[in-house]
Copies of this chain bind each other. A is one copy, B any other.
Amino acid sequence: MGEFDLLARVRERLGPPGGRVTLGSGDDAAVTAPGGGTATSVDAVVEGVHFRRDRASLRQIGHKALATALSDLAAMGAEAGEAYVTLGVPPDLDEDGCMELLEGMATLAEDSGTTLAGGDVSRARELFVAIAVVGHGESPDSFVGRGGASPGDALVLTGEVGGASAGLALLERPELEPAAGAGGAALRERQLAPTPRLAAGRALAAAGATAMIDLSDGLVADARHLAERSGLALRIEAEAVPLARGSASVLEASGGEGPLAALEGGEDYELLASIPAERLPHAQRLVHEAEAGLPLTAIGEVVEGEGVQLRLPGGQALEPARGFDQLA
């Protein structure tokens, strides 16, 4: 396979660039007319570390690589702009395989209003996909970082958690399937084909979110990142956190502590945000409208202190540091 042959096929599949891109793939660089502010993030997935080709299709691998990158833009409340894809191609992946992978990315790009504006292809011993994504906003101040939470803010979560980690458990140990009840297929789908919450992120930014993060490392670990950057503590009511159907029982069957395992399970790519409490109903309506029916749930609040306090059913509370360590 020649690098130039593959790039020609890629350009044919993608068609002319749109959106803010005025000069697309095929030159030394892509040229764009950005908005007043840009949010840029890079993300990579590596075979054997982030995915296995015997568990996920090439299309799913491509989809997830772009989805996880776009999720970082969602967490900024950015409008999706452009993606630049670097592919490391091992000897056993042929040109058709590369196009399959691209198809997963291209479909998500179309669905999310992202322009695949450039890329690079290299030989490699193992398959990897490195993606840079650029999102746009009216000004640098229009994005929502992790550091702006205030004491008294409500803590809100889109969707449900635990699904992706339970899905991974099912993929690794098919014998756990009975524990999933009727939810097995949906759990695996959460692991293999996550949805970046771009519209919900913009809705939360518009509703006045003060800080926001996407859940890649798990609710508790990512809550800690937000708490650290904001210099405050987050108090989470464990019972209030919506869990994906079947996730707690699958995770319990796989040796975890049921609902607690769901709270620390990664890769759900939901959004966790802080928002002034009086804006909560408005935010819930905007998110619900932005992503058909997506729930936004109040799961706790921002308080003075540091770290994450997890309140368990019955009023028991885990101390910040201990709580985190116990869960991590």
Using a CB–CB distance below 8 Å, which chain A residues touch chain B? 22-23, 26-34, 36-46, 48-50, 72-73, 75-76, 78, 82, 84-86, 88, 117-120, 122-126, 128, 130, 132-135, 139-140, 143, 145-147, 212-214, 229
Contacts and interface: CB of A to CB of B under 8 A. Distances in A.
7 contacts: A22-B140, A27-B229, A29-B78, A31-B143, A34-B38, A42-B130, A44-B86
Contact of A33 (B37, B44, B133): B37
A146 B124 CA distance: 28
A146 B46 contact: no
A28 B212 CA distance: 9
Contact of A84 (B28, B30, B42, B88): B42
Contact of A32 (B40, B46, B84, B86): B40
A147 B124 CA distance: 31
A44 to B, nearest CB: 5
A118 B38 CA distance: 13
Contacts of A50: 122
Given A76-B29, A76-B31, A123-B49, A42 B118 contact: yes
A46 B33 CA distance: 31
Given A28-B214, A29-B40, 15 more contacts: A29-B41, A29-B75, A30-B41, A31-B37, A31-B39, A41-B118, A42-B119, A42-B120, A44-B130, A45-B122, A46-B88, A46-B122, A88-B128, A124-B126, A130-B130
